[in-house]
Amino acid sequence: MAVTATGRVKTRVAALGLLPTTVVLLAAAVLMSACGRGEAPAKAAVPPPAVPVLASAVVEKDVPVQVRAIGNVQAYSSVSIYALVAGQIFKVHFTEGQEVHEGDLLFTLDPRPFQAALDQAQAQLAQHQAQVKQAEANLAKDTAQLEYAQVEERRYKTLVEGGYVAKEQYDQILTNEQALTATINADRAAIVNAQAMVKADEANIENAKVQLSYTTIRSPIDGRTGNLLIHEGSVVKANDSGNPLVVINKIHPIYVSFAVPEQFLDSIKKYRATGELKVDATTMGRDTPVQGDLTFVNNTVDVATGTIQLKATFVNRENLLWPGQYVNVALTLTTERHALLVPSQAIQEGQTGSYVFVVKSDSTVELRTVVLGRVDGTQTVITKGLAAGERVVTDGQLRLVPGVRVDVKATAEPVAPKPSSG
C-alpha cells in the first residue's frame, strides 16, 4: 500500500510524542516539500453520472381487436330529380342544401296546357256519355216497335192462312218486323261503341290528370338537396337524361364503404355471427370517432386487389359524415381483456429478438426480452416478459447497457383511448 508524505510525518511524530500543533506544522512543511518535488495527493474515485432517459409505465387494460382501413362516405340513397313532362318552371319551393322530407313540394311547372287537356277530355267524356244515353233510348223505342211488328206479323200470318188478306200485305208486315230487328241490332252496337268511347275518354281523363300531377314535383325521399341546376323560368324537357333538376342525398342514416384484406374475412364472419360488429369512423381534424354498425359484407372478394368490400351504417345525427368524405375506419372484432401495453418506441430489436430496458427500483436498468402482440396505434401489446406497473425506457436507449444508472427526466404515461360517440 502506498504511504503519503503526510502519513509518514504523522507516524514519525507519533513515535516522537510531539504536540498536535507541532504535528500540523510538520505536516504542512512535508506537504510543501513534496509539492516542490512534483508529488500530488491521491483523489477519491467518482462514480459515472446517471444517463438521462424518458420512461413510461406498463399499463394493463382491455384492448379492442381492430381492423383498420380508409373508408369513403356514401349517401344511404341518392335520387336525381327529373321533369316527367315538358314545360316551363313556374316556381322553385326550396333552397340549395336544404333538408327536405318525403312529399315536400320542390318544383311547380306551368299547369295550364295540362289543365286544358284535362278539361277537353272531360268534355269529350260527357259527349260520349250522352251518346250512350241516346243509343239506349233508340234501342228502347225500336224494341217497342219491334214488339208491335211481331204481334202484327203473327196476326197477318193467321189472316193470310185463312185467306182473309192478300199475301202482299203479310209480306209488308214481315219486312217491317225484320227491319226493326236489324235496327235493334244496330242500336245495341251503337250502345257498345258509345260505351267503349266513354271508357276511352275515362282513360284519357286519368292520363290528363297524371300529366297535370307531373307539373308539381315532390321529393321522393328524406334528404338534403344539392346544387339547383334549373331555375325559375327555364323550360325543361320530359325525362331529360343527364340533366336533373336537382340531386337529393339521404344522409340520415349514411354509409361508410371500406375494404379490408381477404385474410380478415374468416374472423369477420366468425365474430359477426355472435353479434353486431361496431365500426368507428374518424374524420380529418377530429379526434373523437363516430360509431356505427357493420351492415354489409360483399358476396365476393375482389380478385384484382385481394380485398373484401364492407359497409357500415351510421345514424349521423350531427351530420359529422358527409358523402364523398374520406375517413379512418376501425372495425372492432372483439376485445382482448387485461392486455399489457407499452409505447411502441420503448421496443428495441436485437439479435435475439425484441427487448426493452426496464427501470428497476435502484434506478438502474435491466435488459428484458419480450414477446410482442398486436400494435394498437402508438402502443404495442406485450404478451410475455413484462408485468403491469413496471417502467420501461422510451427514449435514450442508445446510451444504455444493463446495470447502468439512469435519471428519469419525465414519465410519459400512455393516454387512454377516448370513448366513441354515436
Residues 310 and 350 in one domain: no
Tell whether 222 is covered by a domain: no
| Contact between residue 254 and residue 75 where contact means Cβ atoms under 8 Å apart | yes
- Domain of residue 387, CATH code: 2.40.420.20
* Structure confidence at residue 5 (pLDDT): 43
* Structure confidence at residue 42 (pLDDT): 52
∠ CA 226-229-235, nearest 5°, is 145
* Structure confidence at residue 22 (pLDDT): 39
Q: How far apart are CA 68 and CA 373, in angstroms?
A: 16
Residues 179 and 256 in one domain: no
Q: How far apart are CA 89 and CA 109, in angstroms?
A: 4
Torsion of CA 200, 204, 205, 207, to 10 degrees: 140
Q: Which residues of 327-349 are buried (b: 16+ CB within 10 A; e: fewer)?
A: bbbbbbbeeeeebbbbbebbbbe
**189 membership: H or E segment, kind and range:** helix 167-213
Tell whether 372 is covered by a domain: yes
Residues 353 and 311 in one domain: no
Q: From 192, 213, 234, give the residue that closes a domain.
A: 213
Weakly modelled stretches of the chain, pLDDT under 50? 1-38, 415-422
277: which residues sit within 8 A by CB, 6+ positions away? 268, 271, 293, 294, 331, 332, 333
420 vs 73, 226, 286, 323, 341, CA distance in Å? Answer: 18, 30, 12, 21, 20
Cell numbers for 80: 336525381
- Domain of residue 305, CATH code: 2.40.30.170
Residues 310 and 349 in one domain: no
Tell whether 124 is covered by a domain: yes
Q: How far apart are CA 161 and CA 48, in angstroms?
A: 158
| pLDDT tens per residue across span 233-288 | 889 999 887 789 999 999 999 999 999 999 999 999 999 999 999 999 999 888 89
Residues 275 and 331 in one domain: yes
Tell whether 303 is covered by a domain: yes
Q: How many domains does the chain have?
A: 4
Q: Which residues of 53-62 are buried (b: 16+ CB within 10 A; e: fewer)?
A: bbbbbbbebe
Cell numbers for 144: 217497342
Residues 132 and 206 in one domain: yes
Residues 199 and 132 in one domain: yes
Residues 321 and 396 in one domain: no
Residues 127 and 186 in one domain: yes
Q: From 303, 319, 336, give the residue that closes a domain.
A: 336
Which domain range does residue 14 map to? Answer: 5-36
Tell whether 46 is covered by a domain: no
**73 membership: H or E segment, kind and range:** strand 59-81
Residues 208 and 274 in one domain: no
Tell whether 104 is covered by a domain: no
Residues 189 and 255 in one domain: no
Tell whether 263 is covered by a domain: yes
Cell numbers for 355: 427487448
Residues 117 and 208 in one domain: yes
Work out the mean pLDDT of the chain and round it to a whole number: 85
The whole-angstrom distance between residue 139's C-alpha and the CA centroid of its chain comes to 71
| Contact between residue 232 and residue 91 where contact means Cβ atoms under 8 Å apart | yes
Q: From 336, 357, 383, give the residue that closes a domain.
A: 336
| Contact between residue 55 and residue 38 where contact means Cβ atoms under 8 Å apart | no
Tell whether 138 is covered by a domain: yes
Q: How far apart are CA 412 and CA 43, in angstroms?
A: 40
